[in-house]
Structure 1
Amino acid sequence: MKPNKTMKLVVALAVTAVLASACSSDRGDDPSATSSGGSAATVDAASSKSDAKFGTLDSPCGDGDAKGATDQGVSDTEIKIGFGDDRGYAQAPGLNKEMSDAVNALISWCNDQGGINGRKVVGTDYDAALMQANSVMQEACGSQFMMVGHGFAMDQTAEQTRVACNLVAVPGFTVSPVAANGPMTYQGVPFPVDYANASAWFQMAEMHPDTLNDFDIVNSTIPSIITASTKVRSMAEAAGFKLKDCGVTLNYEGEASYVPFAEKFKACGVKGLWTSRSPVPAEFNFIKSLDQAGIDPIFAGEATWYDSGVATWNKDTGLLDNLSAGSIFPLIENADKVPAVQKYVDLVSAENGKVALLGMQSASSFLLWATAADECGSDLTRQCMVNELSKIHEWDGGGLHAVTDPGSNMPASCGLMVGLTGGTYAQSFPATAAEFKCDPKYLIATDKSTWGTELGADRVATLYQNANVIKPQS
């Protein structure tokens, strides 16, 4: 499906879905450049347009006769895009590697068909290692046409740089308010500050009605998670929860002992805990402390908790058999029921990449970018990309996720819940695997006090706006 001639969660959590990811590697002096999945070979395409599909989406890739150095990073033969993750963060090696793996695989898939209108896609894979997002953006500003499918947990440190150099972006996820509603930004799975998909909370209310007065949020010291948790509170309240305030804040870098915090939650009488933190080792230590304190609350969180590392850990401990994670993506375990998910799994597996939820989110954003780039044809400019991306109002990445509205930066109004037993994930709500429950009430307007940034009348963050920002033209 090519909506309106026209995917990806997050963590942002999601996208909040993401809220802090990483994988270890040393970026060195120069980020690695890849094309066609790591090969710089040119591609012979038999036809001017590919007949390939990604699920229900007609492929935006194919041969063609595009010509001209129309913008930075664009030539007769190439389109240079930046992507990346936080894989070098030593505290959580390997986390979010799936994002770059997905973009690499999609670049290869696209170039095998002839690129975008005959121009080969050349990707530069950046590692922000959590604290180097601004350095990455400074490098990208000097060479890349756009940033595509990336996700940096500390994206607020790079946003001023990105906007100043007019680097248009189609991220895999955003975290900070200034990036989530940033100018010249479009996402397959939008995560704006002023609207939210609260399906996870509404669905938990259906699944666990006895916990409406007994849930609390695990607070953190990292700014991005503080912002996310504030937003989550408004989502929970909209779904009928009256959250406790047990007064527990965990240091994101870890605590010497989590037992005192677990004891505090026990004394507070919680039956459920929500976290916007990612499944890093410190979080597992906190979960162990809950068991040591003798409590077993429902442990709920962003879709980042749907992860192979969590399943492996729980297979040995069983301490997360009470997990509930919200998602707008079908489970990878149900790929045989969803052609787009199966396509993602096949492409990434063929490149020996990591198959995971955030990878699907990055795949969605790459496909969104490629769809707009295809529409621009030979005249591929950042202005044209902003124009085309702003027109795409129905998007599911060919079936990778529930329908979103990237052009208006609006989330989905559908969702499902993921549960875990031992080392096996399964859809826990609704009952039919690979199906979502949708309801207009899931899409809520958040209180302005939770936004964390000022928005203009166009719902775009004003903090780094300048006269040269590229805006959609009719």
Structure 2
Amino acid sequence: MRNLRSSRVAGLGIAALTLALTAGACGSDRDSEDAGGTGGTESSQGASATAFGDLESPCGDGDAAGATDQGVTDDAITIGYGDDRGFAAAPGLNQELGDGVKAMIEWCNEQGGINGRQVVGNQYDAAMTNAASVMQKSCAQDFMLVGEGFAYDEAAEQFRVGCDLPAVAAFTIGSNATMGPNKFESVPRPVDFFNGTLMDVNMKVYPEIAEGVTALGSTSPPIQQGASKVMDIAAKLGAKVEDCGVTLSQDGEANYVPFAEKLKECDASALWASNSPSPIAFGLLEALQRVDAGMKYAFESTWYGDITSQWNAQSGAADGLIASMVFQPLENADVVPAVQDYIDIVDGAGVKKSLIGMQAVSAFLLWADVAKDCGSDLTRECMVDGLSNVHEWTGGGLHAASDPGGNMPPHCALVVQLEGDEFTQVFPEKRGEFECDEAQVIPVDPATAGVKLDADRISTAFAK
């Protein structure tokens, strides 16, 4: 199989969401097989079986045949997928990934599968610390990995590369996994380029960011690395970056008021946080409210979701918080057909809606669209060739246009704002639209991520 250009992380802030939880835990690798029924022009989940948003459905009947590669037979294609739902310290972690792929397998199989081959899914639970063993299982039985997201994917990457297992991931975390060979994502977030529009639109909503912004520090290396990277981008965009010297332990603090007081006394008028929504971050925001710090908040897109809105409904401590995103918010379903289709499918499957769920669905659609074009000749090489040539992808309208084949991030973003328990798009003013600027794709030194890339921008860590 050719070692071609691949692409990486989807939504902004997923590393913060998963790697903020670093306590060791044990969990079982939960494997299961899923295959839906066949036939019909209407999915049982209620979504159209002829399209997903503005994307023609890649699923349907056909006469594809042949055992063309591992996991491919005359009548079935076996893929692997999964998440870290069994992590003891955070039960259900990122389970929307696996739930989303499972729902899409059912949606696809009801239409006839891929060219008539039913899609069979092996579902894995890496439980945070078991990613390496999960990868070895997938290596032994799957055609590809699709829509997966494992927090400790860096530990599993040597096995994926070693067995030539291609992947269309929902997201990746580790730098070498992010830049690995034959790895694709619907919305890349490579280590060597950054979508500066994400910060630029925040500054348009809150000019206070340009006047003085500080990043909340963390004892978690991945979170700290992410915050430092964003502050470097903010400085390049003309913001005044302040070092207020506030760092929170990844295990939490006994009292957050001293940290809030220090931020209030600092010259920064805006706060950036790569930390995920958690009791730690909530504790700081409540303390900032108590001391009347008066700061503007621009946080990672992981703050968009029920965890934040349900907490804020009680405290109000995050009122006015903004988050920039490359995915359409669920609240835009009435103006973005793809979002409504996503909601119909996951609601019909009885699973939770979320930003990372949309990432998994877009990854599945990207995989299925290329698999359809391979026809009977469904091989890993055909898939890698096809994916490498996809240079514009929106998941049917779920997100801004990206370049999976070129491993380049989008150059678009929108901003949502939280008031009470409701998120609303505030920029651009017209819901469903993105602000786009190709000049805002900013080069970043990959050495800051601790990774060495070859001439094709592929990690050399596990090269054969």
Which residue matches 1:43?
38
Q: Look up the match of 1:212.
A: 210
Map of 2:60 onto structure 1: 62
CA distance change for structure 1 residues 160 and 230 in 2, over 3 Å: closer, same or farther? Answer: farther
What displacement does 1:17 show? 7.1
Residue aligning to 1:15: 14
Query: Match of 1:237, SS?
Result: helix
Which among 409, 412, 433 is matched to residue 410 of structure 2?
412
- Give the aligned partner of residue 292 of structure 1: 290
State the partner residue of 2:103: 105
Aligned mate of 1:446, from 441, 444, 447: 444
Which of 308, 329, 332 is 1:331 aligned to? 329
* CA–CA separation in structure 2 for the residues paired with 1:390 and 1:412: 16
Q: Does 1:422 align with 2:417?
A: no
Q: Distance in 1 between matches of 2:380 and 2:16?
A: 27
**Pair 1:382-2:380 in alignment:** yes
Shift of 1:336: 1.1
Q: How many residues align?
A: 449
Q: Deviations over 1:61-95 (max 9, x none)?
A: 11112222222211112111111122223333334
User: How far does residue 30 in structure 1 lie from its aligned partner after superposition?
Assistant: 4.0
Partner of 1:172: 170
Task: Decide which of 236, 242, 248 is 2:246's aligned counterpart.
Answer: 248
1:305-320 matches, within 5 Å, as 305-320=303-318
* Alignment match of 2:342 (pick from 325, 341, 344): 344
Pick closer, same or farther for the CA change 1:274–1:459 going to 2, 3 Å: same
Partner of residue 85, structure 1: 83
* SS state at 2:334 partner: helix
Match for residue 71 of structure 2 among 49, 55, 73: 73
> In the alignment, residue 191 of structure 2 is paired with which amino acid?
V
Counterparts of 1:214-293 in structure 2 under 5 Å? 214-293=212-291
Tell me by how many angstroms 1:9 deviates. Answer: 7.6
Cα distance, 1:292 vs. partner? 3.4
The match for 2:391 is: 393
Q: Which moved more, 1:131-140 or 1:87-96?
A: 87-96
- Give the 3 Å change call, closer, same or farther, for CA 87–330 of structure 1 in structure 2: same
**TM-score calculated relative to the size of structure 1:** 0.89
Amino acid at match of 2:316: G
Distance 1:139 1:323, change over 3 A: same
1:333-375 C-alpha deviation (Å, 9 max, x unpaired): 1101111110000000001111111111111111001111111
Is residue 29 of structure 2 the alignment partner of residue 34 of structure 1?
A: no
Q: Which shows bigger deviation, 121-130 or 349-358?
A: 121-130
125 and 254 in structure 1: CA distance in 2 versus 1, 3 angstrom threshold: farther
Q: Could you say what secondary structure the match of 1:300 adopts?
A: strand
Find the residue that maps to 2:415 and give its secondary structure.
strand
CA distance in 2, matches of 1:435, 1:53: 21
Mapped to 2, the partners of 1:129 and 1:267 lie a distance apart of: 41
Shift, 1:454, TM fit: 0.8
Q: CA separation in 2, counterparts of 1:168 and 1:28?
A: 24
Moved more, 324-333 or 286-295: 286-295
Does the 8 Å CA contact 1:155/1:179 hold for their aligned counterparts?
A: yes
The corresponding residue for 1:301 is 299
Structure 2 CA distance, aligned partners of 1:129 and 1:380? 31
Tell me, what secondary structure is at the counterpart of 1:83? strand
Could you tell me how far 1:316 is from its partner in structure 2?
Answer: 0.7
Tell me the amino acid that sits aligned with residue 95 of structure 2: K
Structure 1 Cα separation of the partners of residues 420 and 316 of structure 2: 5
Task: Indicate the larger mover: 453-462 or 222-231.
Answer: 222-231
Structure 1 stretches of 5 or more lacking a match?
Answer: 1-6, 37-41, 467-474
Letter in 2 for 1:324: I
SS at match of 2:362: helix
Match of 2:135 in 1: 137
Question: Partner of 2:344: helix, strand, or coil?
Answer: helix
Residue matched to 1:470: none
What is the distance in 2 between the residues matched to 1:180 and 1:252?
A: 23
Q: Which stretch of the first structure deviates more once superposed, 311-320 or 155-164?
A: 155-164
Cα contact 2:197–2:413 (8 A) shared by 1: yes
**Taking structure 1 as reference, are residues 31 and 19 closer, same or farther at Cα in structure 2, changes over 3 Å only?**
same
Amino acid at match of 2:382: C
Distance 1:17 1:219 in 2: 12
Shift of 1:229: 2.3
- 1:17–1:277 Cα change, 3 Å: closer
Question: Is 2:366 the partner of 1:363?
Answer: no
The answer as to 2:187 corresponding to 1:201 is no
Query: What is the SS of the residue equivalent to 2:200?
Result: helix
Cα RMSD of the aligned pairs, angstroms, is 2.3
Aligned to 1:464: 462
Q: 1:375 to 1:204 in 2, by over 3 A?
A: same
**Pair 29,428 (structure 1): closer, same or farther in 2 beyond 3 Å:** closer
When residues 97 and 8 of structure 1 are mapped into structure 2, their CA distance, relative to the original with a 3 A threshold, is farther
**Secondary structure at 1:460 match in 2:** coil
Of all paired residues, the percent bearing the same amino acid is 48
Question: Residue by residue, what CA displacement relative to the aligned partner does 1:174-196 show, whole Å, maximum 9, x if unpaired?
Answer: 12211221111111010101111
Deviation sequence 1:312-332 (CA, Å, 0-9, x none): 111111111121111012221
Contact 1:287 1:319 in 2 (8 A): yes
Q: Is the 8 A contact 2:20 2:220 kept in 1?
A: no
